[in-house]
Amino acid sequence: MSFPKNFLWGGDISATQAEGGWNEGGKSPVEPDYYIGGDKNTMRYAYYKTEDGQIGKVMQYSGQLPEGAKYIFKEDEIYPNHFAADFYHHYQGDIALLGEMGFKALNLTISWARILPQGIKGGVNQEGVEFYRNVFLELKKYNIEPIVTMYKYDMPAFYVEEMGGWSNRQLIDEYVEFCKVCMTEYQGLVKYWITFNELNVLKVMLKINPFVTKDGYQRVYEELHHQMVAAAKVVKIGHSISSEYRIGCMIAGMFSYPFTCDPKDQIENQKVKQDNFYLFADTMMRGAYPSYAKRVMKEDGVTLNVSDEDKQTLLEGKADFFAYSYYCSSCVTTHKYESQNGKGNLSAGLKNPYLEVSEWGWAIDPDGLKFSLHELYDRYQKPLLIVENGLGAIDKLEDDGTIHDPYRIKYHKAHIEKMKEAVEEGVDLFGYTMWSCIDLVSFSSGEMRKRYGFIYVDIDDEGKGTFKRYKKDSFYYYQKVCQSNGEEI
């Protein structure tokens, strides 16, 4: 057998993108609840109102509002995260379908706003605690291992309005308490935890935000530092709660190639990966900022004062395993070209002429996945977990209830083959939770029509539909993969 006996075949969902029930069960609004829908060419944003009644817009991922401003909803806008895939009301049937596929794991997030809807001051929302307990018990019925991600850009919105979000160091204590509640409540039901999803996103977004200022760069670095300190604290506390816990970090895979054989392109590619990926991966896995952090911060005009206490916290809270997303790759060059037309998950660059692209313009690069597995395992020598990997596409529901998606089967087959090669060559990979097993709302664009799942959800971008579930052809493909432990791909 190429894959380990207990390899965690599964899928991935997130609370904001799948659950719906945005204002039910004692939950308070989270930032994405205020994001209107967008498309592949339009970033999502939220509306706010200032104290003097002025209406403004703020781009997603911002985590910032003008002082005294509050998020608002507008009646003529559509808020896709309000309905999502309605997992909140369909989780039993959805989990049964995952069990039918032979899932060994489900990566899901716990919404901070369901557990501590008003933060520490408001106390624990027991209804939210019991909702996730019921989800975990349902997973246990089908022998599906939950892998819980604690944060996916979805802090309770009042933290932004009242405290300034992650730029306020006090949020470290708020987040740690949230994690402590979860790790205490679900002891015996959950073993694998991930602190932050794609922690490097804030840094990556700086490059594509046309409104960012010098102060904005300083703020984002401080926010990321607070998140990494918070994550390290959670690792240490989690281990004190249970010696069985395995607590990892998760970074958005930002993998690229030099566009030419010019040595300057090779050096530029190294810098880009350090800037956007390894700066955060190295800190979380090695317990300290890497040497090149000084260069990165100097180039961005940032001065970050890291206290001795923070250094000790990072050192004592190194992650147990490394999790990352992988969708595509890009190309980097120092040369001038008319168009930087390569697209991808939070990335852009030159289009790779050797690769096919998806409907959304993302380069399909299974060889790059194998390359990343070797590079990461050799770098850290700790177990790896692929948390997100998948193909967004427009699927057609036929009159007879079938969905034919050979393009998705082709995508996963090619990537799983490369995973298999990497494992056979010595990489310690313990799981693959593809994105996403059930159709849900795209975080970046707010679209339902950009579908990733093996399970089709009858709902459109405007929230119209029956929410009925249908099995795609890829459902049966992945069923064979899971049930054969990756031998039938």
| DSSP class per residue in 28-79 | PPBGGGGPPP-BTTB--EEEEE-TTS-EEEEETT-----TT-EEE--TTS--
Plot region of 159 (φ>0 → left; ψ -120 to 50 → alpha; else → beta): alpha
- Length of the chain as a residue count: 489
Residue 198 annotated as catalytic? yes
Which pLDDT score is estimated for 322?
98
What is the spatial distance between Cα 280 and Cα 169, in angstroms, rounded to a whole number?
18
Which pLDDT score is estimated for 214?
85
Which pLDDT score is estimated for 348?
61
Retrieve residue 468's tokens. Answer: 């009925």
Which pLDDT score is estimated for 31?
94
Which residues are CB-contacts of 293 (< 8 A; sequence separation ≥ 6)? 279, 283
Which pLDDT score is estimated for 64?
87
CB 200 within 8 A of CB 280: yes
- Cα dist from 473 to 177, 224, 403, 455, whole Å: 43, 41, 6, 9
The stretches in the chain having pLDDT less than 50 are none
Q: Please give the angle made by the CA atoms of 71, 74 and 75, to the nearest 5 degrees.
A: 150
What residues does 249 pair with on adjacent strands? 322
Which pLDDT score is estimated for 229?
98
Which pLDDT score is estimated for 208?
73
What residues does 432 pair with on adjacent strands? 9, 386
Which pLDDT score is estimated for 341?
62
Residue 447 annotated as catalytic? no
Which pLDDT score is estimated for 347?
57
**Residues of the chain above pLDDT 70, percent:** 97
DSSP-based three-state secondary structure for 81:
helix
The sign of the torsion formed by the CA atoms of 43, 74, 13, 478 equals negative
Q: Among 198, 223, 268, 447, which one carries the catalytic annotation?
A: 198
Q: Among 19, 185, 388, 447, which one carries the catalytic annotation?
A: 388
Which pLDDT score is estimated for 346?
54
What is the spatial distance between Cα 45 and Cα 32, in angstroms, rounded to a whole number?
9
* pTM across the whole model: 0.95
Which pLDDT score is estimated for 252?
96
What is the spatial distance between Cα 182 and Cα 198, in angstroms, rounded to a whole number?
20
